[in-house]
């Protein structure tokens, strides 16, 4: 079986972070608001690191999957997880025009990890060799914080607060090797690469 290479591109970030500024301030016992912007930035950076390390998108966000050709086997194993729905899909012809792929032609198989999209209908034939197909999806556990598993939220909170407390001392180290307590929180959710 020949695999299809897929490049994921972020389209839109989540509307909220999995940890609120108020939660982080409570955890740090901060009353002042003069460093709220810094702490908010650290929460976003911690979410991105937790997502990268676990292979899981936390709060719903839009992604575009770009591939060169349709899979021969009719199944696309997605590099993002979890995936809630397909937003749209298009195929480019030789002139660069986009042809819409009908909703009935692609199906997201529920309960699979990694997520799988099956090509179950007639789809346009790509007209160029590279980046000929785009599939837009929503990836994440949901639109609210309470839908994100508690250990993943805790990992974001602890990582952001660690960076706030140890400014400049640990961020570069954590980028290459997560602290043991954070890695332990991620372990049950980490996607294995085969």
The CATH number assigned to the domain holding 31 equals 1.10.3230
Question: CA 51, CA 28: separation in Å to the nearest integer?
Answer: 23
Question: CA 33, CA 25: separation in Å to the nearest integer?
Answer: 9
Q: For residue 10, how many other CB atoms are within 10 A of its CB?
A: 13
SS3 call for 29: coil
Q: What is the total count of domains within the chain?
A: 2
Q: For the ranges 16-20, 23-27, 118-122, 150-154, which has the lowest average pLDDT?
A: 118-122
Residue 95 CA to its chain's centroid (Å): 31
Same-domain status, 183 and 163? yes
Q: For residue 77, how many other CB atoms are within 10 A of its CB?
A: 16
Q: What is the pLDDT of residue 172?
A: 66
Q: For residue 130, how many other CB atoms are within 10 A of its CB?
A: 10
CB 141 within 8 A of CB 113: no
In a domain, 1, yes or no: no
Query: What average pLDDT does range 115-126 have in this prediction?
Result: 92
Same-domain status, 95 and 119? yes
Checking if the pLDDT of 183 tops 60, the result is yes
Rg (CA), the chain: 19
In a domain, 2, yes or no: no
- The pair of structure tokens assigned to 189 is 């959710």
Please report how many Cα atoms fall inside a 13 Å half-sphere around the Cα of residue 117, on the Cβ side.
29
In a domain, 5, yes or no: no
For 40, the domain range is: 11-58+150-189
Q: Are strands 116-119 and 98-100 parallel, antiparallel or unpaired?
A: unpaired
- The pair of structure tokens assigned to 169 is 């001392």
Same-domain status, 87 and 119? yes
Checking if the pLDDT of 133 tops 90, the result is yes
Same-domain status, 79 and 128? yes
Checking if the pLDDT of 194 tops 50, the result is no
Same-domain status, 34 and 82? no
Question: CA 141, CA 9: separation in Å to the nearest integer?
Answer: 18
Q: What is the pLDDT of residue 1?
A: 43
CB 150 within 8 A of CB 143: no
């Amino acid at each position: 079986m020949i695999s299809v290479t897929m490049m994921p591109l972020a389209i839109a970030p989540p509307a909220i972070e999995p940890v609120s500024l108020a939660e982080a301030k409570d955890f740090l016992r901060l009353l002042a608001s003069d460093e709220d912007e810094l702490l908010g930035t650290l929460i976003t950076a911690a979410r991105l690191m937790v997502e990268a390390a676990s292979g899981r998108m936390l709060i719903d966000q839009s992604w575009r999957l770009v591939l060169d050709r349709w899979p021969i086997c009719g199944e696309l194993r997605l590099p993002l997880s979890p995936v809630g729905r397909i937003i749209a899909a298009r195929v480019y012809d030789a002139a660069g025009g986009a042809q819409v792929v009908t909703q009935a032609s692609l199906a997201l198989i529920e309960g699979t990890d990694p997520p799988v999209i099956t090509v179950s209908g007639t789809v346009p034939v790509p007209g160029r060799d590279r980046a000929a197909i785009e599939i837009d999806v929503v990836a994440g556990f949901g639109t609210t914080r309470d839908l994100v598993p508690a250990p993943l939220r805790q990992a974001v909170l602890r990582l952001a607060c660690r960076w706030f407390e140890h400014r400049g001392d640990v961020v570069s180290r954590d980028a290459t090797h997560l602290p043991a307590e954070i890695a332990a929180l991620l372990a049950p959710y980490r996607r294995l690469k085969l």
